[in-house]
Amino acid sequence: MVVKKVDRGGENLMSVKEMFDLSGEKAIVTGAAQGLGEQMALALAEAGADVAVVDVNIDAACRVTDHIRNIDRDSIAIKADVTKVADVENMVKVAQDRFGKIDILINNAGI
């Protein structure tokens, strides 16, 4: 997909990848094993981010993580129930230990 970017010097074309370059960014997506959460995790990875895939269904989270790794991004599956404080604290610790930082958080898990 190409979109138009107009500036004072004329008209330039810019790809979606250029507009949304997340190279080097680190993300956590909760509820990421299926549906919108899965699609957001994959979109972040396709834009260059490394993604922690968080869900109560660890097997499904691992499947998404494998898909992200297949597009040459780092990813980790984390089992967490976002209604439990200890799980949320562990989720953040595991993601920070893996990536060194967190730039993006998408709270998508249904409660």
14, part of any domain: no
> 3-state class of 106 per DSSP?
strand
| pTM of the predicted model as reported, rounded to 2 decimal places | 0.85
35, part of any domain: yes
Q: Number of structural domains, the chain? A: 1
94, part of any domain: yes
**What mean pLDDT is reported for the chain?**
90
Which amino acid, 36?
L
DSSP of 24-87, one letter per residue? Answer: T-EEEEET-SSHHHHHHHHHHHHTT-EEEEEES-HHHHHHHHHHHHHTT--EEEEE--TTSHHH
pLDDT digits (tens, 9 = 90+) for 84-101: 999 999 999 999 999 999
CATH number, domain with residue 50: 3.40.50.720
pLDDT digits (tens, 9 = 90+) for 17-70: 677 899 999 999 999 999 999 999 999 999 999 999 999 999 999 999 999 999
The H or E element containing residue 18 is helix 16-19
**Percent of the chain's residues with pLDDT above 90:** 80
Domain span at residue 78?
A: 22-106
CB 104 within 8 A of CB 44: yes
Tokens, residue 46: 């396709």
> 3-state class of 89 per DSSP?
helix
108: confidence class by pLDDT, cuts 50, 70, 90: very high
Residues 106, 94: Cα–Cα separation, whole Å: 16
33, part of any domain: yes
5, part of any domain: no
Residues 53, 42: Cα–Cα separation, whole Å: 10
- Predicted local distance difference test score (pLDDT) of residue 18: 74
